[in-house]
Chains A and B, each alone.
Chain A
């Protein structure tokens, strides 16, 4: 039985904490697009690498942007 090699995943640092952002703007679609998949879904924290608070802020910003038709709720394009 070969054990899979143990690899320590590199700890990601939250980009917003690094930049000391205290408000995630829902109008900045270029930024928010980095945190949604090509299907339009919000990226999970383990993927985006955000801290708890900033992941919440990103999620509400994406949801606000969706309400104003700046970002899609779903996109069929694969």
Chain B
């Protein structure tokens, strides 16, 4: 098990109250694979430094997980397929 930090930028058209359930549906992958979701931090709407897909703002969220490497790559793959997700980034803050 390794600790990961996943940052997700969601489409600003997603409604504020449906953000948490949307993220939670993705996190089902982690839970079913025996990983643990330690923290879900929704930053809310934030202006993007540059335009992504013709959008000037996005909803930022940071997820702290601990799971197997295959599980994160699967999570990242599924996030990438979702149309409400503008961008993702997975980092391991402990490894550097």
Interface residues of A (CB under 8 A from B): 23, 25-27, 57, 64, 66-73
Contact = CB atoms under 8 A, between A and B. Distances in A.
A26 B91 contact: yes
Counting chain B CB atoms within 10 Å of each CB, which of A26, A27, A67 scores highest? A27
Interface stretch (B12-20, B47-55, B70-78): B47-55
What DSSP secondary structure best describes chain B's contact surface?
strand
What DSSP secondary structure best describes chain A's contact surface?
loop
The 6 lowest CB-CB distance pairs between A and B, nearest first, are A69-B48, A72-B49, A69-B49, A68-B89, A71-B49, A68-B7
Interface residues of B, number: 14
Interface of B: 7, 9, 48-50, 52, 58, 62, 87, 89, 91, 93-94, 96
Nearest to B96: A23
